[in-house]
Structure 1
């Protein structure tokens, strides 16, 4: 775990809100020079507190109107390796996240589709045919509220 001071937390909050901020802009907001800000961001990145910067896509506007969370329990028969399942499911473009979890299911998947018939096609033709898939439970996302997280 990395030790964070108030300035580090302010940097993380600002970048969480807008990851495109330049060090000079960020520094002006926080009362730091551009080089000092850059050094802090580099230290946070090197320590693993900051990962790669990603775009936040509006999936609905891109034609993906349905998001489904799938709970997947692997079948005990055949004893497929977790790595084989993870590799196969990660190759499906509609699967946005693959989370290995503890509980009723072995994996939680976030799947996007154009509509419910498209999701059914993905489920039947791609996910249910994966090695080791046993029980599957689907939960359709109705709405989503983004929370700022512990630094917000």
Structure 2
């Protein structure tokens, strides 16, 4: 379980994982050795999953994001597994979420422009197995996108 010191370290670390050990320790009010030891423990325990670069896909030339709500053909016993395996291989699908309810899966797809999206949709999405229904929602604005936890 995490104590108050762990939470202080995580609170600062999640806002800026590029902080050096001394800077992070100072913000958290602990020594650099304590900070490093606790970070290693939290990584080992699975509290910290990764440090990664977050790339702005718009800066890379992708202007279109579409959410596709997919309902699978539940009469097919392997529909879910087959669909997931194929969807993972579509490079322009940046996120896959599963749900309980009428919609089974949501795919987040990025494209350079609408012509590129149509090409992806026709050649890569519509060819995915076991789709019973699909609904496209065009993203207009991202109001909040935050992975920071209130710790």
Same fold by TM (over 0.5)? yes
Q: CA deviation at 1:83?
A: 2.3
Which sections of structure 1, spanning at least 5 residues, go unmatched? none
Per the alignment, in what secondary structure is the counterpart of residue 89 of structure 1?
Answer: helix
Counterpart Cα distance in 1 of 2:37 and 2:79: 42
Which sections of structure 2, spanning at least 5 residues, go unmatched? none
Written as runs of structure 1 = structure 2, the 5 A alignment for 1:24-43 is: 24-43=22-41
Counterpart Cα distance in 2 of 1:63 and 1:36: 43
Given that 2:72 and 2:79 are in contact with CA atoms closer than 8 Å, whether structure 1 keeps it comes out as no
Corresponding residue of 1:89 = 87
Counterpart Cα distance in 1 of 2:122 and 2:13: 40
The yes-or-no answer on 1:10 pairing with 2:8 is yes
Q: CA deviation at 1:4?
A: 2.2
Corresponding residue of 1:102 = 100
Q: CA deviation at 1:86?
A: 1.2
Corresponding residue of 1:58 = 56
Count of equivalent residues = 150
TM-score of the aligned structures, taking structure 1 as reference length: 0.88
Q: CA RMSD in A?
A: 1.7
Counterpart Cα distance in 1 of 2:91 and 2:103: 22
TM-score of the aligned structures, taking structure 2 as reference length: 0.89
